[in-house]
Structure 1
């Protein structure tokens, strides 16, 4: 459609419909010379005669008659486009791409996303999980719209808003109280079969730093990427694990597990991350507001 002028096409269709340049000018609220100019410009665009006079009536040539069928298709497509844009303006719809960690996606976000789905059925929120570095890369490349990730989230292009402090805890099998140390210190945990997150995760780095700060090297017997798998391993009596409290509270609670706070305390910060130049659609704005409400 490069070079095509919609006003010229509509004027042409109006001349053919009314059979008169003057009638088309009156209907369109312009002068007759203006109508004649638009028709001449359209004819020059195609290098064809599109309108001819038959008696006192203006009618389409063979080329004009074929063009008229395309003008009607174009008008219908434009009407559909206007309806679609009106729907976007009047309701919250479209797609929002959310990147987050597996723990937050499993234990924190389901009620948030379910509430948004009930409120805005036409809004499609696509959640992806991965390490913080992967999520930040997705935001940077604009393959993700918003992230809920573990800090830090470096980068001058990002707008970072902390929303939740999540404490780490140690979990032990509930059926063997004698194996549970009086305090979950790095030294005490290092003497037990230890299950930790797989290397590369931001949460694993935080846990490793906690051990290192106490002068202890953590030597896990298992390294897993799933909090549920870690809880199953511990519940079966095969070791202890360090997990975010988020994964063992509420929906993550297990009767076969004993949960103890770490000493010294260790926590992580979850934050909303957006590109500073990211346009906020209505759907993205409502998702952002719902995530911000987690601070309450």
Structure 2
């Protein structure tokens, strides 16, 4: 088993964020040689190069970038522990850490929090907008009290409080040839460039299954890892985006048309916590309010307890 010192991870995070050893040293109050040594020790421990070095310019390797995502989850949890200790010392309501996929972190979650009376919420709420895989890991590691993740979810160690499903839409530029349609059928997508999710195990999977069932190929595709990017690409008339409807609710864009599909492509998500973890009163309020908000504000949503 590999063991890492917190100061090594803090140094690595600072270097990735700032882009130089010198800048990282200034940001966290250490000397540049100390930062260099901490990074070297961390690379020796993990067994692979974390950074590309080209004189003063530094960038993470592919492995370093993947590792940095986990580091940020850990450091965020560590900061939350500090806030909890401070709240306990002052006899205040404990802070809450929420991890959510970007589509829900920018739409359902802020809408739900806005519907909760301020006196029922703690003074500090930490929100991480991360991938579903990292949401699950944050909940299991108990660095997040609440997780909001997309399906599939079949992980031991999590409790699913409720799940929901919505139908995906097509989004096109107002200048796109399909913009005048009231609904888009599968046949309308033939010979169109499609803008879709990149992760093959989540939303991309039902998209491909639905198109294959209707004999629609995906020979021309732009894929990306966030719906708001898909919306921006569609706005520039680069193709037909097939997306979940939640991001557009939270971050509406001018210059596009959201058009329903005549065939089914579901997007599913759930609110999760760690099995056996007692829930604070504020956590229970947030979980309930997210379900109420989904039913009230998300068109055609179906929820399952």
- TM-score over 0.5 for the alignment? yes
Q: Which residue of 1 aligns with 2:91?
A: 87
Q: Which residue of 2 aligns with 1:149?
A: 149
For the 8 Å contact 1:117–1:123, the answer to whether it is kept is: no
For the 8 Å contact 1:196–1:204, the answer to whether it is kept is: yes
Aligned counterparts of 2:115 and 2:274: Cα–Cα separation in 1: 25
Q: Which residue of 2 aligns with 1:259?
A: 258
Q: CA deviation at 1:225?
A: 2.3
Aligned counterparts of 2:215 and 2:114: Cα–Cα separation in 1: 44
Aligned counterparts of 1:128 and 1:209: Cα–Cα separation in 2: 30
For the 8 Å contact 2:164–2:270, the answer to whether it is kept is: yes
CA shift in 2, pair 1:190/1:196, >3 Å: farther
Residue deviations 1:152-171 (CA, integer Å, cap 9, x gap): 31134322133532220011
Question: Pairwise mapping of residues 239-258 of structure 1 onto structure 2 (< 5 A)?
Answer: 239-249=239-249, 251-258=250-257
Q: Which residue of 1 aligns with 2:135?
A: 135
Q: CA deviation at 1:182?
A: 7.5
Q: Secondary structure at the match of 2:262?
A: coil
CA shift in 2, pair 1:200/1:146, >3 Å: farther
TM-score (norm 2): 0.59
For the 8 Å contact 1:132–1:201, the answer to whether it is kept is: no
Residue deviations 1:226-276 (CA, integer Å, cap 9, x gap): 322222221222211101112233x43334212221231222222111222
Q: Secondary structure at the match of 1:237?
A: coil
For the 8 Å contact 1:131–1:201, the answer to whether it is kept is: no
Q: Which residue of 2 aligns with 1:125?
A: 125
Question: Pairwise mapping of residues 150-229 of structure 1 onto structure 2 (< 5 A)?
Answer: 150-177=150-177, 184-200=184-200, 202-229=202-229
TM-score (norm 1): 0.61
Aligned counterparts of 1:192 and 1:148: Cα–Cα separation in 2: 32
CA shift in 2, pair 1:217/1:123, >3 Å: farther
Q: Which has the higher helix share?
A: 1
Aligned counterparts of 1:131 and 1:186: Cα–Cα separation in 2: 29
Q: Secondary structure at the match of 2:228?
A: helix
Aligned counterparts of 2:213 and 2:274: Cα–Cα separation in 1: 33
Aligned counterparts of 1:206 and 1:84: Cα–Cα separation in 2: 45
For the 8 Å contact 2:166–2:267, the answer to whether it is kept is: yes
Q: Which residue of 1 aligns with 2:78?
A: none
Aligned counterparts of 1:131 and 1:215: Cα–Cα separation in 2: 30
Q: How many aligned residue pairs are there?
A: 210
Cα root mean square deviation, aligned: 2.9
